[in-house]
Chains A and B, each alone.
Chain A
Amino acid sequence: MSKITIPIGPQHPALKEPASFKITLNGEEIYSMDMRLGYNHRGIEKACEERSFIQGLYLIERICGICSHSHSTAYIQALEELAGLQVPKRGLYIRTLIAELERIHSHLLWLGVAAHEVGFDTLLMYTWRDRELVMDHLAEIGGNRVNYAVNTMGGVRRDLTPDEIAHILKDVDTLEERTKYYAQVATEETTLVARLSKIGYLSQTDAEFLGAVGPTARACGVDRDVRRDDPYAAYGDVQFKVCVDHHGDVYGRVLVRVGELMESYSIIRQLMKNMPDGPIAVKSPRRIAAGEVYSRYEAPRGEDCHYVKSNGTDKPERVKIRAPTLANWRAVRKMIEGNYLADAPIIIAAIDPCFSCTDRAIELVRPAGAETLTWGALRQHGIDWHRKQGLDFAELNKKLNTQLGRVK
Chain B
Amino acid sequence: MKYPGRMLGEVLAHLGAKPNTIKYPYEPAVVQAGLRGKIKFFAEKCIGCKICEKDCPSDAITVNKLGDKRFECIFDLDKCIYCAQCVDSCPKKALTVTNEFELAQLDRHKLRFIFHAPDAPPAPAAQPEPPAAKTA
Knowing A55-B55, A152-B88, A405-B135, the reply to whether A139 touches B2 (Cβ < 8 A) is: no
Interface residues of A in 150-205 (CB under 8 A from B): 152, 157-158, 181, 184-185, 187-191, 193
B-chain residues with CB within 8 Å of residue A58 when the two chains form the complex? 57-58, 81, 83, 85
- Could you tell me if A129 and B34 are in contact, using CB atoms closer than 8 angstroms? no
Knowing A149-B84, A157-B88, the reply to whether A139 touches B55 (Cβ < 8 A) is: no
| Nearest CB in chain B to that of A51: its residue | B57
- Could you tell me if B55 and A140 are in contact, using CB atoms closer than 8 angstroms? no
Interface of A is mostly: helix
Q: Does B97 contact A (CB under 8 A)?
A: yes
Chain B 17-48: CB-based contact to A (< 8 A → 1; otherwise 0): 00010000000001011111000000000000
Name the distance in Å between A33's Cβ and chain B's nearest Cβ: 32
- Could you tell me if A190 and B109 are in contact, using CB atoms closer than 8 angstroms? no
- Could you tell me if B3 and A188 are in contact, using CB atoms closer than 8 angstroms? yes
| Nearest CB in chain A to that of B59: its residue | A55
Knowing A181-B10, A189-B6, the reply to whether A139 touches B35 (Cβ < 8 A) is: yes
Residue picked from B5, B30, B32, B112, most chain A C-beta under 10 Å: B32
Interface range on chain A (Cβ under 8 Å from partner) = 35 or more
B-chain residues with CB within 8 Å of residue A184 when the two chains form the complex? 6
Q: Does A293 contact B (CB under 8 A)?
A: no
Interface residues of B in 98-136 (CB under 8 A from A): 108-109, 112, 134-136
- Could you tell me if A122 and B11 are in contact, using CB atoms closer than 8 angstroms? yes
Chain A 338-382: CB-based contact to B (< 8 A → 1; otherwise 0): 000000000000000000000000000000000000000000000
- Could you tell me if A190 and B3 are in contact, using CB atoms closer than 8 angstroms? yes
Q: Does A404 contact B (CB under 8 A)?
A: yes
A-chain residues with CB within 8 Å of residue B32 when the two chains form the complex? 136, 139-140, 143
| Nearest CB in chain A to that of B136: its residue | A406
- Could you tell me if B35 and A143 are in contact, using CB atoms closer than 8 angstroms? yes
- Could you tell me if B36 and A143 are in contact, using CB atoms closer than 8 angstroms? yes
Task: For B33, give its contact among A51, A52, A126, A140 (CB under 8 Å).
Answer: A140
- Could you tell me if A185 and B7 are in contact, using CB atoms closer than 8 angstroms? yes
- Could you tell me if A404 and B83 are in contact, using CB atoms closer than 8 angstroms? no
Task: For B36, give its contact among A144, A187, A188, A404 (CB under 8 Å).
Answer: A144
Name the distance in Å between B62's Cβ and chain A's nearest Cβ: 11
B-chain residues with CB within 8 Å of residue A147 when the two chains form the complex? 81, 83
- Could you tell me if B35 and A144 are in contact, using CB atoms closer than 8 angstroms? yes
- Could you tell me if B7 and A122 are in contact, using CB atoms closer than 8 angstroms? yes
Task: For B20, give its contact among A123, A129, A136, A187 (CB under 8 Å).
Answer: A129
- Could you tell me if B97 and A143 are in contact, using CB atoms closer than 8 angstroms? yes
Chain A 368-408: CB-based contact to B (< 8 A → 1; otherwise 0): 00000000000000000000000000000000000011100
CA distance A107 to B6 in the complex (A): 21
Q: Does A242 contact B (CB under 8 A)?
A: no
Name the distance in Å between A187's Cβ and chain B's nearest Cβ: 8
Q: A129-B20, A140-B34 are in contact. List 17 more A-B contacts (CB 8 A).
A: A55-B85, A57-B57, A58-B57, A122-B7, A126-B10, A136-B32, A139-B32, A139-B34, A140-B32, A140-B33, A143-B35, A143-B97, A147-B81, A149-B85, A190-B4, A404-B108, A405-B134
Some 14 contacts from A to B, beta carbons below 8 A apart, are A52-B54, A54-B57, A54-B85, A123-B7, A136-B30, A140-B32, A143-B32, A144-B82, A147-B83, A149-B85, A157-B88, A185-B6, A185-B7, A187-B2
